[in-house]
């Protein structure tokens, strides 16, 4: 028996080397180093309560969707429709509440709309075997158009009887000092981390990304799981839509435009591999933090905003570089 | 009672006779080498045993009972497992995760049940120990040698209490040292009373581990004899057709 216990405990890698090859951990280090450097470079403006509050809250919007996107990317797919789903669901929420219904109806309608879009995406990808890129590209167009139809391209800023409760979700703090959006993002991160590492669903998501053929051969319900991940991705965009309308206090039809690419960037920086098979929930949140710190610090340091894209693009390339180096070491 | 019995089995695809009138019996714990050139009918034969194809004629019996298998799942239910040449493993997962893929152990109740990592590590370590393999449950597949990967694929069949394991060219793409490892895995299966059908092109492997060799040529069985009574030269001649039939 001792032999078996020995074999179980033995591993080719130690905890330290695993941490050092974990992309999420390296990005976290980058976040910490950048934060300390920025604290001194900006004479403490960066680390003022006000600024940290802004950074964390802004990071959560992209981070929430990146959590859902991570599931899709782990299976080797992609979801380009999330920016439009965000807008559609916030528009549905606004419209329903504007018509005089309570907040619970507004949120339920918004999330149902998001889940429906994800379901349609998933069915076309898993059962009709359409390429994810094309399906979600089409859905990106359709969902935004439906949002415009819903609102007739007007801005909605009055949310009926539960107006104040909605704004509290975006602007209030259930726990003193922690903005509600941050609380929501952290809760979702914990749920996603749990699902990915401790449930059978999460195991199957990883398996599909590793080898779809192997997953199928061993009886994993590949198609159902795939529909599931696209619904999760859409749902995360729907949740973000509600939180964002609650924060902004108004919805316009260009909300979330171009956000899908930011979200994918964040997921990739956080360690999700577009080829499938790897990614973590915590990585998605840490990736969102890094992007937001870059954006925020450029402003604080007085660097022309036009440079933002260059810095964020470089961060993406660095992330991929780290991934390559870690893999080379493994293969070698 | 034979573990597997084929009686006058044939498979036609339209006018093409892929397998014609093949009969043989395999006993429990017997290792059989199935040989033949490309297109000789080995794959079709194996696919009928594995439930991919229904025979056009003839009967297949497992443990003395006749079976009709329309799909691989049904063959699996009858205790027939196949180890594919590409092994069908997920590189990004651990050995234990692959062994249990599709039938994970869980603990807890209903919606609150979570993966039982400790249980799966323990059980797969036991199976690797039975196979006398060095494979460690927590290692990722992508860091493993070809021989260790075979061990993972075979451990999967043992977990399901397979009675008959079909192995498709298990030694085709691995190093010489690992071949010895794979042959040991096959012996470990045999010692547990499992019948192994080894499809191979490699003469030394078949003569090293198989009790009997069946040679196919153009859809016909042209030899079925103990490896001790045959020789690689004779089998080569049978495969190429230089020798019409074994005596």
Q: Structure tokens of B118?
A: 């400790």
- For residue A53, the model assigns a pLDDT of 85
Asked if B18 and B183 count as a contact pair (C-beta separation under 8 A), the reply is no
Q: Structure tokens of B16?
A: 């093409």
Nearest CA in chain B to A278: B92
Q: Answer yes or no: is pLDDT of A1 > 50.
A: no
- Which residues are within 8 A (CB) of A99 and not within 5 positions of it... i.e. 6 or more apart? A160
Please give the residue that has the higher pLDDT: either A135 or A151: A135
| B245 belongs to a structural domain | no
Contact B129 A4 (CB under 8 A): yes
Contact A7 B128 (CB under 8 A): yes
pTM tops 0.95, yes or no: no
Gyration radius of chain B over CA positions = 19
Contacts of A210 in chain B (CB under 8 A): 90-93
pLDDT in tens, A35-44: 899 888 888 8
Band of the pLDDT at A47, cuts 50, 70, 90? confident
> Measured between alpha carbons, how far is A218 from B156 in angstroms, rounded to an integer?
9
> Measured between alpha carbons, how far is B173 from B175 in angstroms, rounded to an integer?
7
| B186 belongs to a structural domain | yes
Tell me the percentage of chain A whose pLDDT exceeds 70: 92
Q: Is B48 left (phi over 0), alpha (psi -120 to 50) or beta?
A: alpha
> Measured between alpha carbons, how far is B244 from B247 in angstroms, rounded to an integer?
10
Which regions of B108-239 does DSSP assign to beta strands (E)? 114-115, 164-168, 195-199, 212-217, 220-226
CATH architecture of the region A25-34+44-322 = Orthogonal Bundle (1.10)
Local structure of A178: helix, strand or coil: strand
CATH code, domain carrying B22: 3.40.50.300
Give the C-alpha distances (Å, rounded to integers) separating B125 from A91, A220, B129, B132, B151: 54, 23, 6, 10, 11
- For residue B111, the model assigns a pLDDT of 72
Q: Answer yes or no: is pLDDT of B246 > 80.
A: no
Mean pLDDT of chain A: 90
> Measured between alpha carbons, how far is B163 from B3 in angstroms, rounded to an integer?
8
- For residue B114, the model assigns a pLDDT of 93
Q: Which 8-state DSSP code applies to residue B108?
A: S
Residue B30 structural domain:
4-91+165-240
Band of the pLDDT at B112, cuts 50, 70, 90? confident
- Which residues are within 8 A (CB) of A205 and not within 5 positions of it... i.e. 6 or more apart? A71, A74, A75, A196, A225, A229
What does chain B come to in residues? 247
Mean pLDDT value across residues A87-96: 95
> Measured between alpha carbons, how far is A264 from A69 in angstroms, rounded to an integer?
7
Mean pLDDT value across residues A163-187: 90
Band of the pLDDT at B119, cuts 50, 70, 90? very high
Nearest to B136 among A7, A209, A210 (CB): A7
Q: How many domains does chain B have?
A: 1
Is residue A11 classed exposed, middle or buried when 0-12, 13-18 and 19+ CB atoms within 10 A define those classes?
Answer: middle
Q: Which of A7-21, A286-300, B101-115 has the lowest mean pLDDT?
A: A7-21
Mean pLDDT of chain B: 90
- For residue A330, the model assigns a pLDDT of 54
Local structure of B224: helix, strand or coil: strand
Band of the pLDDT at A172, cuts 50, 70, 90? confident
Please give the residue that has the higher pLDDT: either A39 or B247: A39
- For residue A219, the model assigns a pLDDT of 83
| B105 belongs to a structural domain | no
**A214 has a chain B CB within 8 A of its CB:** yes
Q: Which 8-state DSSP code applies to residue A278?
A: -
- For residue A12, the model assigns a pLDDT of 53
Q: Which 8-state DSSP code applies to residue A129?
A: -
Asked if B165 and B197 count as a contact pair (C-beta separation under 8 A), the reply is yes
| B226 belongs to a structural domain | yes
Band of the pLDDT at A332, cuts 50, 70, 90? very low
Contact B92 A200 (CB under 8 A): no
- For residue A244, the model assigns a pLDDT of 94
- For residue A14, the model assigns a pLDDT of 65
> Measured between alpha carbons, how far is A232 from A201 in angstroms, rounded to an integer?
12
- Angle subtended at Cα B59 by Cα B200 and Cα B170, rounded to the nearest 5 degrees: 15
- Which residues are within 8 A (CB) of A240 and not within 5 positions of it... i.e. 6 or more apart? A61, A64, A65, A86
- For residue A2, the model assigns a pLDDT of 54
Local structure of B242: helix, strand or coil: coil
How many CB pairs (< 8 A) connect A and B? 85
Contacts of A218 in chain B (CB under 8 A): 88, 101-103, 156
| B96 belongs to a structural domain | no
Tell me the percentage of chain A whose pLDDT exceeds 90: 62
| B21 belongs to a structural domain | yes
Tell me the percentage of chain B whose pLDDT exceeds 70: 100
- For residue A9, the model assigns a pLDDT of 65
State the residue for tokens 């969902």.
Answer: A143
What does chain A come to in residues? 332
């Amino acid at each position: 028996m001792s032999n078996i216990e020995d074999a179980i405990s033995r591993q080719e890698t130690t905890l330290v080397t695993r941490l050092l090859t974990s992309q999420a951990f390296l990005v976290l280090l980058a976040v910490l180093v950048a934060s300390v450097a920025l604290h001194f470079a900006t004479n403490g403006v960066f680390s003022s309560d006000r600024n940290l509050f802004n950074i964390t809250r802004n990071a959560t919007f992209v981070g929430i969707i990146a959590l859902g996107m991570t599931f899709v990317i782990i299976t080797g797919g992609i979801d380009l429709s999330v920016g439009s789903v965000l807008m559609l669901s916030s528009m549905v929420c606004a419209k329903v509440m504007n018509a005089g219904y309570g907040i619970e109806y507004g949120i339920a309608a918004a999330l149902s709309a998001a889940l429906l879009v994800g379901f349609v995406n998933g069915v076309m990808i898993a059962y009709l075997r359409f390429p994810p890129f094309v399906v979600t590209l089409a859905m990106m167009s359709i969902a935004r158009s439906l949002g415009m139809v819903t609102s007739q391209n007007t801005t909605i800023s009055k949310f009926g009887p539960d107006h104040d409760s909605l704004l509290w979700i975006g602007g209030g703090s259930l726990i003193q000092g922690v903005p509600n959006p941050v609380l929501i993002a952290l809760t979702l991160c914990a749920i996603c981390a749990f699902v990915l590492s401790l449930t059978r669903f999460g195991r199957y998501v990883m398996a599909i990304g590793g080898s779809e053929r192997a997953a199928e051969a061993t009886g994993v319900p590949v198609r159902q799981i795939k529909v599931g991940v696209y619904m999760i991705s859409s749902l995360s965009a729907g949740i973000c839509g509600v939180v964002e309308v609650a924060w902004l206090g108004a919805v316009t039809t260009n909300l979330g435009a171009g956000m899908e690419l930011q979200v994918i960037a964040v997921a990739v920086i956080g360690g999700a591999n577009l080829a499938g098979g790897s990614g973590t929930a915590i990585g998605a949140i840490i990736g969102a933090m890094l992007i937001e710190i870059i954006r925020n610090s450029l402003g604080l340091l007085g660097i022309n905003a036009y440079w933002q894209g260059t810095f964020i693009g470089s961060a993406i390339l660095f992330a991929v570089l780290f991934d390559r180096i870690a893999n080379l070491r493994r293969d070698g | 009672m034979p573990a597997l019995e084929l009686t006058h089995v044939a498979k036609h695809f339209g006018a093409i006779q892929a397998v014609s009138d093949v009969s043989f019996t395999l006993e429990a714990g017997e290792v059989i080498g199935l040989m033949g050139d490309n297109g000789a009918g080995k794959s079709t034969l194996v696919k009928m045993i594995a439930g991919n194809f229904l025979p056009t004629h003839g009967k297949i019996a497992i443990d003395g009972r006749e079976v009709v298998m329309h799909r691989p799942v049904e063959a699996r239910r009858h205790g027939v497992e196949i180890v594919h040449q590409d092994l069908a493993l997920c590189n990004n997962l651990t050995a234990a995760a692959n062994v249990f893929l599709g039938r994970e152990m869980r603990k807890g109740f209903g919606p609150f049940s979570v993966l039982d990592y400790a249980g799966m590590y323990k059980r797969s370590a036991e199976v690797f120990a039975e196979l006398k393999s060095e494979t460690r449950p927590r290692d990722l597949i992508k860091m493993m040698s070809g021989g260790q990967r075979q061990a993972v694929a075979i451990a999967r069949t043992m977990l399901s209490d397979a009675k008959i394991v079909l192995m498709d060219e298990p030694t085709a793409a691995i190093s010489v040292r690992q071949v010895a490892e794979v042959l040991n895995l096959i012996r470990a299966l045999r010692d547990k009373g499992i019948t192994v059908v080894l499809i191979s092109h490699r003469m030394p492997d078949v003569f090293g581990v198989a009790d009997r060799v069946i040679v196919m040529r153009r859809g016909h069985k042209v030899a079925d004899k103990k490896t001790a009574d045959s020789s690689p030269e004779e089998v080569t001649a049978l495969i190429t057709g230089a020798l019409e039939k074994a005596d």
